[in-house]
Structure 1
Amino acid sequence: MPDSLSQLLASRDWIMADGATGTNLFNMGLPSNVAPELWNADRPDAVRRLYQDAVDAGADLFLTNTFGGNASRLRLQGAAHRVRELNLAGAAMARDVADASGRKVVVAGNIGPTGEIMAPIGTLSHARAVEMFHEQAEALKEGGADILWVETISSEQEFRAAAEAARMADMPWCGMMSFDTAGRTIMGVTSAQLSALVERLPNPPVAYGANCGVGAADLLRTVRDFVASGNERPIIAKGNAGIPHLEAGSLHYDGTPEIMADYAWLARDLGVRIIGGCCGTTRDHLRAMRDVLESRPAGPRPSLEEIAGRLGGFSAIQTI
């Protein structure tokens, strides 16, 4: 039986994912020095609202509030012993919201980077990285996640470790890197290298792509490289809604709903199958994205000039 995401992909030309987690929780009152995952236990009402807002705005897939839910990151909050508790709670709430939606909505168990640098450059071993990711994956599976959603990874070694953990948990998965340094990740991985890497894994992801980074235009430039690679695996794009700034004590991004709507249809016309937002993307952005995806007919693949013109230009010259 195909997983829930593969079933949706087989029946739809595109799928809309959700928006930001941290940004929206900060705007609900999450202090900047508190890990969002702690709210799965301390403020479940806010986390449920985050999930419900995404579903109400039209998301077909949304992420659990577990991005930093691994032992390494939770240790910074004195909560390394709470990995299972917090991931299980985040996934179980998501499952409830999805099941009550009245339509098919995929729960994506969110797994972010460990926050450590892997050997041989750093000290984190492959075995320890796999162990941490596997602990998180099993809790997300137990909580009812349909698929694992590995994102914002910067190194091939950490990507491989997450893939191995997904295999050990017997879970389908998706994998994304963040290309934020002139077309490369901070560890130097290029889009072409990621396209090749996913096909060399023993358990390739259902879909792969890019998230976060330095802006929607740069992210779509990376997407064009994925398309050019010839890899036919479904592509994911989850771009930021502009640049952040503080306004009346809340964190806001300068990407308007109209800009994110343009980003969404440009992504679709590039061939992206799963389209969502990352940092700064609110329910208002998601509604605008859903509206344009449903109402604007498909067109030719946009050029780099059109992408830059509509989304405000690129942040840096690409070095690859």
Structure 2
Amino acid sequence: MNVLSKLTDNNILLADGATGTYLQARGLEPGGDPELMNITDGNIVKQMARDYFKAGSDLVQTNSFGGNFYVQSRYDQGAKVDEINFLAAQLAKSEAVNINSKVKERYVFGSVGPTGELIEPVGTTSAKDVYAAFKQQVLALEKGGVDGIVIETMISLEEAKIAISAVKENTQLPVAALTTFDKGPRGFFTMMGDTPEKCYEELFLSDADIVGANCGNGIDIMIELGQRFRECGDGHVWINCNAGIPQIQQGQIIYPETPEYMLDGFSKLIDMGVNIVGGCCGTTPDHIRQIANL
């Protein structure tokens, strides 16, 4: 059964937790290229998928968040985009295949993050070039065997819509689009000034199959965001929460929200009808293990 059919049958899917947090604990240096580890340290990336599946994830994301040409070019790895994304998909998918059973099917979604470019006329990069970068990435992820694409941590609604088009016009994969919000005195807005309601409407109109929010906030704020998205309509909603706002303690980045602290919040997200829940920055297999027991 594919992911969309699973959701249509009113199943709740549990996604994975953080990628960067996991890899940094296993040798990724500060400022390093996480996606290059698909080539240099594939066993660690594969183990990450295995650990999240064993913790209870129904769905894991590939190690490809910064796998587009623009981000990889900043690491002088632009020529390796196809290889990086193909391996990202294969490494995670191999673990899904190994652990699948008649009782529970596991899925892999290709992670697609922002290019970091400002699109004309605000910036100097054309929408056509951004589209081409996303197309290259999603084709490599599809070739590697992903079950869907998740476009995430988007602060530009325009860029998110370009990424959706790149998926829909070049693959047969379902696509989720997750935006990132800050909460200020006037409420929730992306960095580009868009509200949850506008994102919900325009992303679905752009042919996203699932919409939602990730990153930037701990569980308490994400409960509010989840409610805002859920009140917009009955479309599939995906919420991934940080383990709180990072703090610096003795020179180390610490995320303060423990698995136990986040558990009640995830229960509330599920009760309000969010279809996919998972973790973002700072969350670990221990967080996922707690949620899986709900």
Structure 2: give runs of 5+ residues left out of the alignment: none
Q: Who is 2:236 aligned against?
A: 234
Equivalenced residue count is 287
Asked whether 1:198 is paired with 2:203, we answer yes
Q: Distance in 1 between matches of 2:84 and 2:170?
A: 18
Find the residue that maps to 2:118 and give its secondary structure.
Answer: coil
Q: Who is 1:64 aligned against?
A: 62
Aligned-residue offset at 1:261: 1.0
Q: Distance in 2 between matches of 1:27 and 1:263?
A: 26
- What is the correspondence of 1:1-320 to structure 2 with a 5 Å cutoff? 4-103=2-101, 104-170=105-171, 171-182=173-184, 183-201=188-206, 204-229=207-232, 231-245=233-247, 251-292=253-294
Question: Does structure 2 retain, via aligned residues, the 8 Å contact 1:27–1:250?
Answer: no
Aligned-residue offset at 1:225: 1.2
Question: Does structure 1 retain, via aligned residues, the 8 Å contact 2:110–2:141?
Answer: yes
- Residue-by-residue CA offset, 1:182-215 (whole Å, 9 max, x unaligned): 31111111101011102322xx222110000222
Q: Distance in 2 between matches of 1:285 and 1:249?
A: 23
Q: Check 1:27–1:289 CA distance in 2 against 1; reply closer, same or farther (3 A cut).
A: same
Aligned-residue offset at 1:181: 4.4
What fraction of aligned residue pairs are identical, expressed as a percent? 34
With normalisation by structure 1, the TM-score equals 0.86
Q: Which amino acid aligns with 1:127?
A: K
Question: Does structure 1 retain, via aligned residues, the 8 Å contact 2:61–2:108?
Answer: yes
Aligned-residue offset at 1:33: 1.9
Question: Does structure 1 retain, via aligned residues, the 8 Å contact 2:237–2:276?
Answer: yes
Structure 1: give runs of 5+ residues left out of the alignment: 293-320
With normalisation by structure 2, the TM-score equals 0.94
Any runs of at least 4 consecutive aligned residues in structure 1 with deviations exceeding 6 A, and if so which? none
Q: Distance in 2 between matches of 1:291 and 1:186?
A: 35
When structure 1 is superposed on structure 2, of 46-55 and 250-259 the one drifting more is: 250-259
Q: Which amino acid aligns with 2:277?
A: I
Q: Which amino acid aligns with 1:40?
A: N
Question: Does structure 1 retain, via aligned residues, the 8 Å contact 2:138–2:167?
Answer: yes
Q: Distance in 2 between matches of 1:75 and 1:222?
A: 34
Q: Distance in 1 between matches of 2:100 and 2:177?
A: 28
